[in-house]
């Protein structure tokens, strides 16, 4: 644990990517194999299930620190991270534990089945046997995701530096389902074993938003355009008579989409399709809200399958006849995909093709983009016909060109402190729109992003001076500031007080030129719902 805590302390002591990579690479060269596997797991968000719920942790931490629970909670709201709050608030210890990271994690795994009293005792002993950084890291392992300014990509780069294995190959090896408790470093990283790759997806190729006008991409004939569908980007894998469905978050979601089992006997073994899972109620593409009824469910009932079936809208083909064809030109991959589609397509099979469209001029492309909302897409994807399928987010060959978002002017009504690098700053806002009589502001959305750091600081200072009431971490503020809120989609909702749900709301700009009377009404918002 000493070494891991020291690694985190070093990563915390620099803001420079090269130094972070150096520190990680050094760790991967010197740590024990078991600890290395756990470190990879933790930095790729594979932590053991939480053994103690956070309510109990907060209660115990406040008891051990001999401060009232409300004071612990207030401190937590301000610090913005539970593990950090606990490490700061409980009395300091100069001890340092000799236990390895692996040993701590084994204990954390075993802790889940223990009694509440045993858990409490374990936490007490651990907290008081660790120094600040060890304590912070230990608590973080228990409470939640380990976001410490090290992306999975950065970790992979460091691992590549330490092992001299190609970065893309490592990214591939680290994907998918593996259990850090039983996997060895040799198995996971060093050894090449083809049979392990049965369920393994390829790293997704992701696109950046186009920066200029598409004309800047050059000759339109070198480019294909297709609609960017609003569902779950996925890879569907058929190998050895088995089906695997992966979401972009590297989650294996095969069980959630039983419709796709029909692919097994139709699509030949050794096929990997990149596509979008879309809701398809009443034989047409639904909204993202429809899909949400499927995402969260553990039990996929027959009723749900009938009400909200899904389809796979296929974009690309990554593996064909057991061969990785990502290096082939996009055009070639599409040809094979389209041929496959023609052979298997029928009304019964939930496989659709996302059609690519060739254009003669960029103006025609722009016109097609205008149709996006009508066809229920988010905009267009532009792909170079001769491009390979790359790893991760890369510039150059693929671009997304989304439709401009819908926007509305709303009034800031509530604020909450943020987390992580926004701790102690009011950055999480709630916005309201006027009711019909323009008498009352009705909450319609929350947004956390879109302002610059400088703007956030200004709004934060204003909120602290203009608080009306406090409800735990939330403050209501004097209605005064108008913000233009952008969002991707809109649908009716019975779950929201406003009767409307918006998709991905964020702040577009601070409308200092507008008075609150000039903000929009709920009726204006409802007028944006597609009929």
Partner 1 sequence: MKTPLLVFNQKGIYCEAADVYLDPWKPVKKAIISHGHADHSRWGHQQYITHHTNVPIIKHRLDDISVTGKAWNETFTINGVKFSLHPAGHIVGSSQIRVEHKGEVWVFTGDYKTEDDGLAVPYEVVKCHTFITECTFGLPAFKWLPQQQVFNDINNWWQQNQDDGRTSILFGYSLGKAQRLLKHLDTSIGKIYTHGAVENMTEVVREIADLPPTEKITRDTKKEDIKGNIVIAPPSTHGSPWIKKMVPYVTASASGWMTFRGARRRRAIDKGFVLSDHCDWQGLLTSIKATGPEKVICTHGYTDIFSRFLAEQGYDARTEQTQYEEENAEQTSKEKD
Contacts to partner 1 by CB under 8 A = 12-16, 65, 67-68, 70-72, 74-75, 78-81, 84-85, 88-89, 92, 149, 419-425, 453, 457, 460-461, 464-465, 470
Alpha-carbon span 505 to 518, nearest angstrom: 20
Distance in Å, CB of 366 to partner 1, minimum:
38
User: Which one, 75 or 502, has the nearer CB to partner 1?
Assistant: 75
Write the burial class of residue 329 (CB in 10 Å: 0-12 exposed, 13-18 middle, 19+ buried). middle
Minimum separation from the CB atom of position 12 to partner 1 (A):
6
DSSP secondary structure letter of residue 98 = -
Task: Report the residue number, 134 or 250, with the smaller CB distance to partner 1.
Answer: 134
Judged by beta carbon, residue 380 or residue 425, the one nearer partner 1 is: 425
Cβ proximity to partner 1, 65 vs 234, nearer residue: 65
Provide the minimum distance between the beta carbon of 445 and partner 1 in the complex, in angstroms, as a whole number. 25
Nearer to partner 1, 14 or 265 (CB): 14
Q: Using the minimum distance from each CB to partner 1, give the nearer residue, 424 or 493.
A: 424
How wide is the angle at C-alpha 51 spanned by C-alphas 46 and 53, nearest 5°? 110
As measured in angstroms, the least distance from the Cβ of 149 to partner 1 is: 6
Closest approach, Cβ 92 to partner 1, in A, equals: 6
Q: Nearest approach, Cβ of 19 to partner 1 (angstroms)? A: 8
| DSSP 8-state code for residue 134 | H
Taking alpha carbons only, the member of 81, 40, 34, 76 closest to residue 59 is: 76
Measured between alpha carbons, how far is 429 from 441 in angstroms, rounded to an integer? 14
Q: Is the dihedral of CA 429, 430, 436, 439 positive or negative?
A: negative
Spatial separation of the C-alpha atoms in residues 330 and 325, rounded to whole Å: 10
Q: Which residues contact 292 (CB under 8 A, 6 or more apart)?
A: none
In the complex with partner 1, the residue whose CB is nearer, 149 or 396, is 149
Secondary element (H or E) of residue 123: helix 116-127
* Cβ at position 262, least distance to partner 1 in Å: 48
Distance of closest approach, residue 489 Cβ to partner 1, in angstroms: 31
Residues 6 or more apart whose CB falls under 8 angstroms from that of 250 comprise 175, 176, 201
Q: Which two tokens mark 248?
A: 């972009």
427 neighbors 418 (Cβ within 8 angstroms): yes
Q: Name the residue nearer to partner 1 (CB basis): 149 or 268.
A: 149
Look at residue 408 and give its three-state secondary structure. strand
Q: In this complex, which beta carbon is closest to partner 1, that of residue 264 or of residue 461?
A: 461
Cβ neighbours for 338, distance < 8 A, ≥ 6 positions apart: 353
Q: Which letter does DSSP use for residue 252 in this model? A: B
Tell me whether residue 67 or residue 154 sits nearer to partner 1 (CB atom). 67
Alpha carbon 311 to its chain centroid, in Å, reads 22
Gyration radius (Cα) of the chain, Å: 26
Q: How far is the CB of 46 from partner 1 (least distance, A)?
A: 23
Q: How far is the CB of 208 from partner 1 (least distance, A)?
A: 23
Write down the least CB distance from residue 140 to partner 1, Å: 11
**Smaller CB distance to partner 1: residue 71 or 190?**
71
Longest dimension (CA), the chain: 73
Compare residues 85 and 126 and give the one whose CB is closer to partner 1.
Answer: 85
Shorter beta-carbon distance to partner 1: residue 81 or 250: 81
DSSP 269-300: SSEEEEEEEEE-GGGS---HHHHHHHHS-SS-
The total number of residues written for the chain in this structure: 531
Q: Terminal CA-to-CA distance of the chain, rounded, Å?
A: 58
Cα 29 to its chain centre, rounded Å, is: 30
- Of 94, 106, 108, 136, the C-alpha closest to 5 is 136
Tokens representing 33 are 């194999």
Nearest-approach distance from CB 57 to partner 1, in angstroms? 16
The minimum distance between CB 512 and partner 1, in angstroms, equals: 19
């Amino acid at each position: 644990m000493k070494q891991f805590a020291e690694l985190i302390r070093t990563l915390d002591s620099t803001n420079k990517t090269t130094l972070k990579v150096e520190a990680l690479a050094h760790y991967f060269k010197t740590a024990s194999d078991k600890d290395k596997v756990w470190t990879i797991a933790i930095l790729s968000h594979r932590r053991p299930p939480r053994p103690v719920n956070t309510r109990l942790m907060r209660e115990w931490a406040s008891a051990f620190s001999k401060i009232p629970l409300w004071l612990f909670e207030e401190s937590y709201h301000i610090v913005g991270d539970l593990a950090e709050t606990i490490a700061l608030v409980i009395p300091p210890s100069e001890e340092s534990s000799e236990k390895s990271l692996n040993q701590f994690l084994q204990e954390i795994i075993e802790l889940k089945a223990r009694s509440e009293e045993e858990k409490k005792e374990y936490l007490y002993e651990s907290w008081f046997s660790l120094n600040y950084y060890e304590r912070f890291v230990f608590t973080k392992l228990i409470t939640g995701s380990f976001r410490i300014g090290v992306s999975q990509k950065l970790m992979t780069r460091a691992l590549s530096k330490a092992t001299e294995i190609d970065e893309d190959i490592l990214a591939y090896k680290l994907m998918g389902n593996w259990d850090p408790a039983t996997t060895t470093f040799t198995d996971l990283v060093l050894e090449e074993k083809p049979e392990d790759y049965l369920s393994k997806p390829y790293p997704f190729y992701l696109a950046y938003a186009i920066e200029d006008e598409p004309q800047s991409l050059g000759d339109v004939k070198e480019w294909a355009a297709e609609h960017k569908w609003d569902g779950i980007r996925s890879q569907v894998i058929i190998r050895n008579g088995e089906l695997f469905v992966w979401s972009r978050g590297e989650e294996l979601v095969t069980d959630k989409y039983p419709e796709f089992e029909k692919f097994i006997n139709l699509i030949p073994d050794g096929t990997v399709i990149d596509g979008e899972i879309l809701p398809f109620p009443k034989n047409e593409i639904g909204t993202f809200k429809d899909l949400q009824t499927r995402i969260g469910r553990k039990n996929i009932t027959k009723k749900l399958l009938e009400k909200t079936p899904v389809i796979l809208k296929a974009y690309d083909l990554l593996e064909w006849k057991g061969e990785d064809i990502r290096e082939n030109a996009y055009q070639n991959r599409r040809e094979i995909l389209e041929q496959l589609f023609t052979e298997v397509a029928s009304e019964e099979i939930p496989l659709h093709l996302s059609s690519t469209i060739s254009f003669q001029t960029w103006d025609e492309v722009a016109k097609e983009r205008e149709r996006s909302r009508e066809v229920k897409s988010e905009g267009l994807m532009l792909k170079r016909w001769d491009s390979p399928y790359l790893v991760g987010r890369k510039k150059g060959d693929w671009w997304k060109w989304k439709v401009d978002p819908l926007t509305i002017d709303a009034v800031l009504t509530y604020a909450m402190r943020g987390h992580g690098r926004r701790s102690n700053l009011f950055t999480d806002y709630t916005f309201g729109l006027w009711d019909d009589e323009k008498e009352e502001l009705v909450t319609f959305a929350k947004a956390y992003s879109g302002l610059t750091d400088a703007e956030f600081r200004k709004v934060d200072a204003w909120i602290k001076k203009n608080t009306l009431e406090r409800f735990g971490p939330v403050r209501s503020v004097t209605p005064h500031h108008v913000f233009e809120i952008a969002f991707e989609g809109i649908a009716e909702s019975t779950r929201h007080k406003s009767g409307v749900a918006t998709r991905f709301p964020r702040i577009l700009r601070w409308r200092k030129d507008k008075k609150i009377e000039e903000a929009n009404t709920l009726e204006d918002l409802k007028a944006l719902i597609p009929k």
